Chain A
Amino acid sequence: MAYDYRPFPYAPPPGLTAPEPRHPVLIVGAGPIGLAMALELANHGVRSVVVDDNDVVSVGSRAICWSKRSLEIFARLGIAERCLEKGVTWKVGRTFHRDREVFNFDLLPEDGHRMPAFINLQQYYVEQYLAEAAIAHPLIDLRFKNRVTALSQSDHVRAEIGTPDGPYRLEAEYLLACDGARSPIRGLMGLDFKGELFEERFLIADIEMEADFPPERHFWFEPTFHPGQSALLHKQPDNIYRIDLQLGWDADPEAERQPDRVIPRIERVVGHSDFRLDWVSVYTFQCRRLDQFVHDRVIFVGDSAHVVSPFGARGGNGGMQDVDNLGWKLAAVLAGGPETLLESYDRERQHGADENIANSTRATRFMTPEDGAERVFRDAVLRLAGKAAFARAWVNSGRLSRPCTYPGLGPDADLPVGAAPGMVAPDAPVAEGWLQDQLRGWTLLAFNHDAPDVGLPVLHPTGDNARARYQGDAANALYLIRPDQVVAARWITATAAEVTTALSHHKEGRPWP
């Protein structure tokens, strides 16, 4: 069934009648990133005003694949249960060349994780759940039909905001630009958005049909139903299926959007005409980012800071990792902590964006090789995949979103590779439920170790999974975990002085050593 778009109510903001007191944080944009940002800040006790020029959730489903890490973040924001209940859980992807399977992957081959590798859930549902949680939160003031039209900054930020009842002005300590890929804030500040555009057009369609297609990601290179191009089929809730079809650079985007063109193409994919078009769009994809995400008191988060092509689902999921990284740091700075923490947001999330851009660019190039050597090698990989095992993994239809490992964290020790400094602390079942649920602030994890008293909560996780993921073959292990559940440092054994040194280092956001 089609999604029921219900406008959120508009109320005339107080600033129209009298100046408002300066707010700690103004968030521009109530897309998934702005809304998640407000909820994450509220978790840290920080009030925010969120303005959005619109009053409905995302038109068309856009993002559908939400990663394990995003779900872990959603758990903290209070919407994971709703997402899991509604979403289609999946972990297997199959890639075909012509009509034969050449490669498959299982994104979560081991047990003992609360969250699945991925769920598919239309972006409008995720936005709806986030918006409802934000509206219900006493620390969040969400204002629809409020458009930022100008801004300036000194030791605070001033924004001009237009509403149906006229303009007003807001002041805030910090402005978070969560205003999407076309970011008007970026434009108002005259900032360059560097990167590359792929000269290729893709038809993206959501269709509704009754089918027993498995909950897997299927990707085809040069299928017989769409010769010479690529195609993707993915299942969503409500009997909605996502179909991506590569069209070529010469395709006319206006004509290709018309049902008389779209329907026959889709009939060839699904083999019948018993479906309804839910949403159709023709896209050209880009990978770009800002040189810097922090510009004094204006901070870019999500698509306003970086965009990627969607093969790999690294756009929205990458943005959620920005939220994860910035929340506790901005809360600490507002509470009087060092501003170097915001530099660490900039440094760490640029690193994350570069990894997402590199992966998305490689996948898009593999799909849309330029004439010449690029195409010769791409075709060679596809041919080899049919006759040599090694080449199967080289077939690149998208490397799906995983959190990056932040460089410059530590100290490190000879402990399991999957829990190194800079990585998200792996989840595991523990006596109290799930380990990640216990990680809600600076925490020490101690294995066969009397943790030194440095004023931090100490957990002694039990269970085989936790031991295997953190302690491995070592006699003992001690971990320092950041509020965003990233491993900051680890030791086989450490004194209070060693832990305190690492802790104060990381609380200032300085790279180790």
Chain B
Amino acid sequence: MALNTLPNLPDHDGFYAALLAAHKGLTAEESAALNAELILILANHIGDRAVLDAALTLAGQR
């Protein structure tokens, strides 16, 4: 499967708010720890190296 970069998540505004809420009141360090766990959980759920590699590349583009 290829990395899906088209709209895919219903209620993205709602998820975005939930993401910010999860970080609310955290120090920068605590936020980094939360993000790291989140990335690992999602990577395992996706379970597809090609998709993850494409995501890494996209995220790293400057």
Residues of A whose CB lies within 8 Å of any CB of B are 373, 376-377, 379-381, 383-384, 388, 390-391, 394
Contacts and interface: CB of A to CB of B under 8 A. Distances in A.
A384 B41 contact: yes
A119 B32 CA distance: 42
B37 A380 contact: yes
B36 A376 contact: yes
Contacts of B39: 377
A383 B37 contact: yes
A394 B36 CA distance: 14
A392 to B, nearest CB: 11
B36 A377 contact: yes
Contacts of B36: 373, 376-377, 379-380
B40 interface: yes
Interface in B10-32: 32
A434 B33 CA distance: 52
Nearest to B47: A390
Contacts of A394: 40
Query: Is chain A's binding surface mostly helix, strand, loop or mixed?
Result: helix
A430 to B, nearest CB: 39
A377 B36 CA distance: 6
Nearest to A380: B36
Contacts of A377: 36, 39-40
Nearest to A394: B40
B33 A380 contact: yes
A388 to B, nearest CB: 7
B33 A388 contact: no
A390 B33 contact: no
Contacts of A381: 40
B57 interface: no
A460 B37 CA distance: 53
A390 B41 CA distance: 8
A357 to B, nearest CB: 21
B44 interface: yes
A388 B41 contact: yes
A383 B33 CA distance: 10
A380 B29 CA distance: 12
Contacts of B32: 373, 376
Nearest to A390: B44
Contacts of B37: 380, 383-384
Which among A373, A376, A380, A391 has the highest number of chain B CB atoms within 10 Å?
A380
A380 B44 CA distance: 13
Given A379-B33, A379-B36, A391-B44, 18 more contacts: A373-B36, A376-B32, A376-B36, A377-B36, A377-B39, A377-B40, A380-B33, A380-B36, A380-B37, A381-B40, A383-B33, A384-B37, A384-B40, A388-B41, A388-B44, A390-B44, A391-B40, A394-B40
